Amino acid sequence: MIRNMEGDLVQVLWWDTLECPNGWHEKEDIKDYKPSLIESIGWIITDSGDYITLIADRATEEGDETIGRCQVIPQGCIKSINRMFIERPVA
């Protein structure tokens, strides 16, 4: 990444690879296969330069570092990353 975004809440648009079904295929049959463009939203916990690690869930209690729904996305698959902001109500 150009900038370190660890800890940021983000929207990531990334290309998900496609594996053809098992077996033999005619060349013409696979020409229209395409990867899917995926939108994921979560917090970046690792920004290595080669990949990001994104989590969708995290505990809110102070000191609790429990996380859930983790994805590791290679940089080469990422189309864009946009920071997101949460507006929290004033108590």
Q: State how far the Cα of 60 lies from the Cα of 75, in Å rounded to an integer.
A: 28
**Sheet strands (E) in the chain:** 9-16, 36-47, 51-58, 67-74, 78-83
- Where residue 9 falls among pLDDT bands split at 50, 70, 90? very high
Which pLDDT belongs to residue 1?
43
Cα angle for residues 26, 32, 35 (degrees, 5° grid): 120
Per-residue pLDDT of 24-82, as tens digits, reads 989 998 898 999 999 999 999 999 999 999 999 998 899 998 999 999 999 999 999 99
Q: Which residues pair with 67 in a beta bridge?
A: 58
Which pLDDT belongs to residue 2?
45
Residue 43's closest CA among 83, 87, 3? 83
